Chain A
Amino acid sequence: MMGPLVKKKKEVWERLELLAQGAKFDVSCASSGVTRNNKASFLGNASRFGICHTFTSDGRCISLLKVLLTNQCHNDCAYCVNKRSNHHPRTFLSPEELAYVTYQFYRRNYIEGLFLSSGIIRSADYTLEKMIDTVKILRRKYGFDGYIHLKILPGASEATIVEAIRWADRVSVNLELPTPQSLVKLAPEKNMKELLSIIELISKKIDEFRENPSGYNAKGGQSTQLIVGASPESDLIILTLSQQLYKKYKLKRVYYSAYIPVNQDSRLPAVSTPPLIREHRLYQADWLIRFYGFTVDELLSPDSPNLEEGYDPKLAWALRNLHYFPVDIMKASYYELLRVPGIGPISAKRILNYRKHTSLSLESLKKLGVVIKRAKYFITINGKMIDQKAKVDFLQSFVFKPQPKMTQLELFF
């Protein structure tokens, strides 16, 4: 087995390089959500919190071997590096080769598992089957019990999608664009209705298999990705969609990917730098929706449909809703505490725990993990404000400071 791959050394390098190039814009990297201890004589386990194995020079973590089965594709999506009309070398790694490289990387502790995606050759069904073959070789031949994330290809049959779920720890379908109109424009072969119906199918199947002891059953759930800045939608539209995905289809994560121009395409906006701050603010708002009990309507409205770039969405909400404050640390409920800038789920839980037994002071709040620098303007302790003057100064600095405006992109309308 060893022989052929090492002999083709140079060639394997080149192919892996091309296939990694094609996969790197998918931002999902999580290896979390599944706990699995090693059964006898297997290779690998999974850790609920995920493990990062290294970080590239763009500061992103590498947890999984993120790679394509092939970078050939019969779709022509404007934003995608692998689109049909691009003229760059096309190649593939066979399921056997891919499984072997994954196995060798894993046992050197380079990676936590495999993230396998692909361009579409012949048909979506055929390609997805090849991807599943890779997983089967890994699981059976190498006894690999580590983390595997499979990309589901739109257009694959229900039976093949179910098979993918049975063998993977997490699956994902990328929506990429938040409205049907943008999809039609930029990804003519895809359509929103179909993508959402696949997401629905996956969510149903994952539920169905939950108690099934055989198979891997995508216990890590499903995720998706949205590109930010390639189409004109506001944050309101994007986050409304995310909220729906979390609620209705129980997605584990929605990833936001700042649009980076990789193609010359008249359908796309001209941008010089990717909107990284906007991406960051979207993630913050996403967290508020998932863990803090916020709804999109509270963060954004049709009158101001975009998140401020100058400060985080929770602070922005607090400044718009000063009537809500101050919140008293000794009396407020969990969700009331969570609304205070500088208090998160961990510190809120600790506060609830500690105030049962003892009175809290500014000092002890600090030890419980509260960011006093922020929180002090919004809280009282047993009815006492911490620093009245500072509060006034702080709020005025926001009220009178000109609000930083979102940089509007040069859009194609």
Chain B
Amino acid sequence: MRKENHSWLQELVCRFDQNLKKQSKLRQDSLFKQEISSLAQLLANVDKDVLKVLYYYSLSEKDRFFEDLKQIVSLVSAGKERLIFSDPAFFHIYKTANRVRREIHRYKGFLRFKEVKGGYLYAAFEPEFNVIIPLARHFANRFRNEKIILHDRKRGLAVFCHKGHMIQAEIIKPIPQETEEETFFSNLWKKYFETLAIKERENLTGQKRNVPLKYRKFMVEFEP
């Protein structure tokens, strides 16, 4: 198995574990008796592309995640993995996973950090799916020496990253004020953004397709 799968695999198994506990409380008798460790083993043998899809799908927080994962695992253990992409059950998983993947990719570009007093870079957002972990992984790597805070306001989740580490955090106090430099550079950015548009080529439909309105709430250049 490639090394990069490792952290996803852990997350995926962890989610599965949580779900299993939740489910077993609800449905004691029809309990799905898959040992977590053997699931991890099974998943470790799953093709990398399929595993990726399952991982993204888990972030969608769909109600059916638990059942769907069971089904895919049984397909894989029955040796039908090669045909999985044309399997109807897998198709909707794949579609949803793609939407999650797209949201992660977009936030990699659209997330905006604000420098606040105390030397932190703070980014708030309200994603449709639970994508804070893969995003934190991206930014923890990118801004290694910065102290950054990602804040999913929809779910009340926060992650603090510094020196490549990611720590789950809780926002208990109001976010500190912006620094003076922050005001300067965000204004400079807004000005730059307006300047760069070529009026002979105006295409607001294209702009809306590429930056859907739901992302604009937290992007400085779209602030009124």
Contact = CB atoms under 8 A, between A and B. Distances in A.
B188 A60 contact: no
Interface string B166-204: 000000000000001100111111011101111111111
A387 interface: no
Interface string A335-371: 0000000000000001000100110000010011000
Say which size band chain A's interface belongs to: 35 or more
B219 interface: yes
A53 B222 CA distance: 13
B197 A57 contact: yes
Interface stretch (A34-42, A321-329, A403-411): A34-42
B145 interface: yes
State the main secondary structure of chain B at its contact with A.
helix
Interface string B119-142: 001010000000000000001011
Given A59-B207, A357-B82, A274 B200 contact: yes
Contact of B145 (A9, A16, A43, A53): A43
A367 B198 contact: no
Contacts, number: 149
B146 A54 contact: no
B111 A109 contact: yes
Interface stretch (A17-25, A83-91, A117-125): A17-25
A2 B91 contact: no
Interface residues of B, number: 53
B90 to A, nearest CB: 10
A63 B203 CA distance: 18
Interface of B: 82-83, 85-86, 91, 105, 108-115, 121, 123, 139, 141-146, 164, 180-181, 184-189, 191-193, 195-207, 209-211, 219, 221
16 contacts: A16-B191, A17-B192, A41-B144, A44-B143, A51-B108, A54-B211, A55-B207, A56-B196, A56-B198, A57-B202, A58-B197, A104-B181, A105-B189, A108-B115, A110-B112, A358-B83
Q: Give the 4 A-B residue pairs with the shortest CB-CB distance, closest first.
A: A59-B206, A59-B203, A56-B197, A58-B201
